Chains A and B, each alone.
Chain A
Amino acid sequence: MRRPTRAWDRSMNGIEIPFQGETLCALGSGALYWAARDLLIVSDLHFGKSERIARRRGTMLPPYETRATLERLEADLLETGAGGVLCLGDSFDDLDAANGLDGEDRAHLVSLIEGRAWHWVEGNHDPGPAGLPGEHHAELVIGPLVFRHIAEPGARGELSGHYHPKLGLPGCGGTRPCFLFDADRMILPAYGAYTGGMPATAPEFAALIGSPAFAVLTGAKPLLVPYPARKGTGRGRRRF
């Protein structure tokens, strides 16, 4: 993984989104940076997922997903220099998983929290404080924006996670986790290493996202596309 050492340079790897009078920057990693509040927003980290699966099911997946997610988060913090972090729910695969974190992973996480304003918004997987430093919130309002794990019908200025949206471009390979947003709300992609995705074409999204709307596909270089992407326009599908 690329490990940038330079200071945040927003011309390099982000897409600026005007949202409720604020400017939010969607990063290729799946994090969202709110420069005015110096806040990095990530959703659905699912720390401790492999431990929970071993406990509940007996299969022993590679126990490195927490480390992988933390390394990515650290890289984003270095790149943006963010002084605050907001985790938008399902940060832990369950509350026992928070206690079951490997010692090294836990120390790594605590080192990231220290010296930063850290907000844990609760999710359906982690409906309570996880015993780590930082503030716990059921949901959180900052300025014109409201942060909650699961989107609510009719909300305005809302940022949420939960659904793990993903989307592909016709003819450009597989799907990638993505941001979805219209003028009133934004749904963030899942940031955790062991997370799947729900196709942005699923009816769950149609019920929440109005029009006009956009998606930002994560990846080496984030891509902005209209949502839903219209089919059958232009020169047609080229064979790659």
Chain B
Amino acid sequence: MGVMSALPPIFEDWFSKRGWSVHPHQQEMLDRSDAAALMLIAPTGGGKTLAGFLPTLAELAEGDHKGLHTLYVSPLKALATDIRRNLTIPVEEMGLPIRIEDRTGDTKQTAKKRQRADPPHVLLTTPESLALMISYEDAPRIFAGLQRVVVDEIHALMEGKRGDQLMLSLGRLESLAPGLRRVGLSATVDDPEALAAQLARHPDPCEIIEADPGPDPDISMLRTEAPPPWAGAGGGYAVREVLAQVKQHKTTLIFHNTRAQAEIFFHKLWLANEDDLPIGIHHGSLSRQVRENVEAAMVAGELRAIVCTGSLDLGIDWGDVDLVIQIGAPKNIKRLVQRIGRANHHYNAPSKALLVPANRFEVVECMAALEAVRDHELDGSPRGPGPLDVLCQHIMITACAGPFDEDALFSEVKSVGPYAGISRAQFDDCLDFVATGGYALRAYDKWKRLLRRPDGLWQLRDPRSSLRIRMNIGTIQDADMLKVRMRGGGGKPLGEVEEGFASSLTPGDTFLIGGQVVRYETLREMTVEVTRRADREPRIATYAGAKMPTSAQLAHRILDDLQRPDWPELPPHTRDWLHLQREVSKMPERGRILVETFEHDGRHHACFHTFAGRHAQQTLGLLLTRRMETLGLHPLGFVGTDYATLIWGLDELTDPAPLFEARELREGLEGWLTSNAVMKRTFRGVASIAGLIEKNLPQVRKTGRQATFSSDILYDTLAKYDPEHLILRVTREEAMRGLVDFARVEEMLERTKGRVDLVRATRPTPLAAAMLLERDRVPVAGAGRERLAEEEAARLLKESGLAAFGAPNVAGV
């Protein structure tokens, strides 16, 4: 293998012909290209991807390598496609003998088959497509001779299970192609060493190269004529000002935190777009064709702005973006910095960005985020060990490829960064689960998934089951999505909406997709049919896409900012609002819990300002309402935001301090955890990754709806009869870290130490008033609601006039 520190002359010529020079960190990547593991940390726009590929191009320039040389893995299909395009240009211009192809979920079957038979030199792919390739019996042949694996945007991948799966796949590749070199390309992160440790083959080291971070960004809050609304997340009030900014710049990226918000904003932007500026929309729920059209138009420089979500977060080269607008508070400083870097894709030029807070409180959050960026403070929390559901899937994938030895697989798994600390017992649990279901009741003796052969190797009992396993590879957990299609058009689908949303539609309802308002006509064969006759205000389409909670670091900054005597840099509307809060109530503090109570709409309300982030605030809502239920306060529901939890019910809360007994809360958590919706939602994801539930079936989905039942039933049954089952243990662990986020509740209890202030207000306080308008209200099951449901049933019966029509008796009433 040719390791070299200088570029071959043909490269030098090509670079100098274009007046380019190699950046210092790109040269360093070449110099150290023989490292077994190498991590490059560089700001967005720093030529990371080229830095990752230069050693590959240099090594392949000699033309004597046969088969696959470099595997490039990125989190996005679009990125793989984009890189192929960008890489093909220099390769063709220099006449290098290098074949470059991409392989994603969008690649045609015939191309995929050919790639297996005759792999290109450079293959660009995603973690899911790689896992699928590893499951093939001919994987050893495909990957023999593989020299380098380049993982792009590794900081993003390692935030979730896709990264864990990818690292397990790398462990497998290492066995198929010993001595392969790993390269990670990352945006600026708070802890490069931790990230590097995930990539390296454990316990080997990983070298780190940090590029010059470049100049500070030019970033500020967008000034608007109208004040932002009290609640909400869409930023619609700022459409005119955003449009004005688009006019003043060459190309603007307009980032949103969720797909639904992007759709609504795009629609409003179009209505206000009197000059017909070419503006596009891009997010993960749009059909492939729609996305590709927008990408192509962007590359060709035909668009002045793109409304987008996280699907454009990552380093696709969109040409000359000179402004980034972030709608809604960024929630997380690291992500904000990475997004800002998308503007001015030139090394060593400052990026320009504007923040548009979506509601009154987000003005404060944006202010805090701006300070954090100025102070170069990044947030992050250490990751836990690799989750076992992903390992279960990896064991199934391994079994698909052929018989395996459990000891060899265990040592392979131990060499994978996120799984370095796994015990043999944990591994055996996973293997037992995959083989037998792992139930306390040994029920499936006849129908085991894996069998142990006389020679000690494990194999699939039924080789045909590999088809079903392959159909369910991956760790991305979208809610069940339904395709949306124009009726009678027979054309390509417009995109997808959540099944739950589709089932709430009645014919004539309208909603937004791909920036168009469409009218729901019917649901046919699991496809939503729509027409263009949109004669009503659009309803909001709900897409998958969890809202991220505000990070702890950012929340602390906000609390500190609130303690300042004045906020001269804030617009008057927000400044006055904060002063009024201080006047009629109190300002929340880092070291105290502020509880405000008041009556509103015939219900007693209590607002807890504890700043623990959305997930922890929702957990707190569940725990507090549970305790209030036992105190006989008849809570009816709650809503949690990043900053506070609001609870309403039939009786008044007069003594909040005892609610925050840490021990009681923890005990409440134990009891409550088994029976709640968050657990069920987490279970659904874990169970489908681990292979307990199959989302995709070989046949077309049946329309006989009574045949399918919800995973909630499985959860309830398992929790009752087999509470220590592996999948429940994984679910509990994940929920505690993720949606339950009890660590943030603990952090809040720790910093407030039982110091509770109660303010009894005569009406909603300025901070609490905003909470009244929040969506995502969670009903509480309990005595209060049972009473209301009975009242509702009785009312329906009475109003139907059927009560006198020989109607049945409600016994005992």
Contact = CB atoms under 8 A, between A and B. Distances in A.
Interface stretch (B38-46, B438-446, B623-631): B438-446
Interface string A200-240: 00100000000010100100110111100110011000111
B447 A54 contact: yes
A90 B444 CA distance: 22
A62 B693 contact: no
11 contacts: A50-B443, A57-B694, A58-B465, A61-B437, A62-B721, A63-B444, A172-B788, A212-B805, A220-B786, A221-B790, A240-B785
Contacts of A197: 705-706, 709
A22 to B, nearest CB: 12
A169 B789 contact: yes
B773 to A, nearest CB: 11
B481 interface: no
A102 B721 CA distance: 15
A51 B637 CA distance: 40
A190 interface: yes
B439 A226 contact: no
A59 B725 contact: no
Interface in B756-813: 777, 779, 781, 785-786, 788-790, 792-793, 795-797, 799-800, 802, 805-812
Q: Which 7 A-B pairs have the closest CB atoms?
A: A60-B437, A196-B709, A11-B812, A63-B443, A226-B800, A164-B706, A64-B721
A14 interface: yes
Interface string B631-648: 000001100000000000
B790 A193 contact: no
A234 B796 CA distance: 8
A60 B779 CA distance: 33
A57 to B, nearest CB: 7
Interface in A5-53: 10-12, 14-18, 25, 50-51
Contacts of B461: 58
Nearest to B636: A240
Contacts of A195: 706, 709
A15 B680 CA distance: 31
B580 interface: no
B437 A225 contact: no
Contacts of A137: none
Contacts of A164: 706
A84 B468 CA distance: 44
Q: Which of A10, A217, A224 has the most CB of B within 10 A?
A: A224
Given A58-B462, A197-B706, A225 B797 contact: yes
Interface residues on B, range: 35 or more
B777 A102 contact: no
Nearest to A67: B721
A176 B773 CA distance: 29
B449 interface: yes
Contact of A198 (B462, B637, B705, B795): B705
A156 interface: no
Interface string B501-517: 00000000000000000
B709 to A, nearest CB: 3
Contact of B796 (A65, A162, A163, A229): A229
B708 interface: yes
B221 interface: no
Nearest to A237: B792
B599 to A, nearest CB: 16
Interface stretch (B13-21, B143-151, B564-572, B712-720): B712-720
Contact of B811 (A25, A67, A199): A25
A17 B802 CA distance: 14
Contact of A65 (B449, B717, B786): B717
Nearest to A199: B705
Contacts of B713: 193-194
Contacts of B449: 58, 60
Contacts of B785: 172-173, 240
Q: Which of B462, B725, B792 has the most CB of A within 10 A?
A: B792
Given A63-B441, A226-B802, 8 more contacts: A15-B810, A60-B439, A67-B721, A164-B706, A171-B792, A193-B717, A196-B710, A197-B709
A170 interface: yes
Nearest to B711: A61
Contacts of B809: 15-16
B692 interface: yes
Contact of A64 (B707, B722, B795): B722
A234 B726 CA distance: 49
A55 interface: yes
A108 B499 CA distance: 39
Contacts of B793: 169, 217, 223-225
A145 interface: no
Interface of A: 1, 10-12, 14-18, 25, 50-51, 54-55, 57-65, 67-68, 100, 102, 162-164, 169-173, 190, 193-199, 202, 212, 214, 217, 220-221, 223-226, 229-230, 233-234, 238-240
Nearest to A166: B706
B527 interface: no
Interface in B204-249: none
Given A224-B793, A226-B800, A61 B714 contact: yes
Nearest to B793: A223
Contacts of B708: 196
Interface in B331-363: none
Contact of A59 (B691, B705, B717, B807): B691
Contact of A239 (B777, B799, B811): B777
A172 B792 contact: yes
B802 A212 contact: yes
B436 interface: yes
Interface of B: 436-437, 439, 441, 443-444, 446-447, 449, 461-462, 465, 468, 636-637, 691-694, 705-710, 713-714, 717-718, 720-722, 725, 777, 779, 781, 785-786, 788-790, 792-793, 795-797, 799-800, 802, 805-812
Nearest to A64: B721
A169 B468 contact: no
Contacts of B693: 59
Contacts of A163: 706
Contacts of B786: 220-221
Contacts of A240: 636-637, 777, 779, 785, 788
Contacts of A100: 446
Q: Which of A163, A172, A217 has the most CB of B within 10 A?
A: A172
A189 B468 CA distance: 32
A226 B796 contact: yes
A20 to B, nearest CB: 12
A16 B443 contact: no
B802 to A, nearest CB: 5
Q: Which of B446, B709, B802, B810 has the most CB of A within 10 A?
A: B709
A197 B693 CA distance: 18
A171 B637 CA distance: 12
Contact of B717 (A64, A229, A239): A64
A63 B462 CA distance: 20
Contact of A170 (B446, B447, B792): B792
B466 to A, nearest CB: 10
A176 B45 CA distance: 54
Q: Which of A59, A193, A195, A239 has the most CB of B within 10 A?
A: A59
B717 A68 contact: yes
Contact of B441 (A57, A102, A217, A238): A102
B790 A224 contact: no
B292 to A, nearest CB: 35
Contacts of B436: 60
A62 B439 contact: yes
Q: Which of B777, B785, B800 has the most CB of A within 10 A?
A: B800
B705 A62 contact: no
Contacts of A224: 793, 797, 807-808, 810
A12 B812 CA distance: 7
A238 B792 CA distance: 10
A80 to B, nearest CB: 13
Contacts of B795: 234
